[in-house]
Amino acid sequence: MNIGEVATASGVSAKMVRYYETIGLIPQARRTEAGYRVYSPADMHMLRFIRRARDFGMPMERVRQLVALWRDEHRASRDVKALALRHVTELRERITELTAMADALQELADCCQGNSRPECPILRDMADPSTAA
Amino acid sequence: MNIGEVATASGVSAKMVRYYETIGLIPQARRTEAGYRVYSPADMHMLRFIRRARDFGMPMERVRQLVALWRDEHRASRDVKALALRHVTELRERITELTAMADALQELADCCQGNSRPECPILRDMADPSTAA
DNA sequence: CTTGACCTTCCCATTATGGGAACCCCATAT
DNA sequence: ATATGGGGTTCCCATAATGGGAAGGTCAAG
């Protein structure tokens, strides 16, 4: 397969495939005489795997660790699980933060009449939180 | 006040104050003879306001709109409320996405023994989701 | 008048992704 | 054989918001 085919098959854009190669996330592809990159089905699976990891919201560094475990026949599933759970924890922390933001802003909005007059508790609170409603 | 003072007082770093000026989020500061930026208490309040908006997770473009409303004495609170609720909606959408990621990964982790053997449902599923447990 | 803290501008780096230019290659239709 | 379209290649640029750091000017206190 060449890069366009592996991109379509894996769901990773050709641009990103080249990028992953430059940052060393995937090994350098073999080349044809003309310089075209050549991929095996195994490469395609690896890219698909990476795509899945990204879909889980993992930062590249974590993806890198996970790919290393994936390729290591002698890994301990404990290590994979620990990595996964660490990510779940981070996701839940982020969710907590966003929820706090949304709730706080929702509460302010609930206090706002939302009419044609300028008086607005949202702006008032944001300008000076000490005057909380 | 000079930039260091307004930075400390507003919670926005001096670097960011200069940056906000270059992108036109805040007006260009007056300068002393020597070229030092000079800020009024009103400027400080504006920066604090911006800081609060950022704390709510708003992207700069939304902050820009909000600052415009804040400065407009003739705004309609309806417009402020609409903007706030739009942001709440986006936050909740993001939360839904992150929750789906966390739940899916948690479910995979629950299936993983987490021992010293290499067999791991997390990796198996990520490599090929069609073999779902 | 020195010294240290603060200011100025300018450049660089980050993360992951896409856009686009300039140029080369391959297969197919004429 | 050749024109042509659809790839491929590299390289550079841009993003959003933020920090780091260098080189050099300024201010205030001792």
* pLDDT score, position B54: 94
Query: For residue B129, what are the contacts with CB-CB under 8 A and spacing of at least 6?
Result: A52
Protein residue with the closest CA to the C1' atom of nucleotide C17: A16
Residue of B nearest to A117 (CA): B76
A19 pLDDT more than 80: yes
H helix intervals, A1-133: 3-10, 14-22, 41-55, 60-71, 77-110, 121-127
* pLDDT score, position A129: 78
The 10s digit of each residue's pLDDT in B49-100 is 999 999 999 999 999 999 999 999 999 999 999 999 999 999 999 999 999 9
pLDDT category of residue B32 using cuts at 50, 70 and 90 = very high
B133 pLDDT more than 80: no
Classify residue A49 by burial, with Cβ atoms within 10 Å: 0-12, 13-18, 19+: buried
* pLDDT score, position B128: 82
* pLDDT score, position A81: 95
Classify residue B83 by burial, with Cβ atoms within 10 Å: 0-12, 13-18, 19+: middle
The 10s digit of each residue's pLDDT in A22-80 is 999 999 999 999 999 999 999 999 999 999 999 999 999 999 999 999 999 999 999 99
pLDDT category of residue B127 using cuts at 50, 70 and 90 = confident
Q: How far is the CA of A73 from the C1' of C15 (A)?
A: 30
* pLDDT score, position B129: 78
State whether the beta carbon of B2 lies below 7 angstroms from any atom of strand D.
no
Q: Which string of DSSP letters, residue by residue, matches B93-131?
A: HHHHHHHHHHHHHHHHHHT---SSSS--HHHHHHH-GGG
Could B127 and A76 be called an inter-chain contact, meaning their C-beta atoms sit closer than 8 Å? Answer: no
CA of residue B37 relative to chain centroid, distance: 26
Do the beta carbons of residue A76 and residue B116 sit within 8 Å?
A: yes
Query: For residue B120, what are the contacts with CB-CB under 8 A and spacing of at least 6?
Result: A75, A77, A80, A81, B112
Which token pair is B23? 């992108």
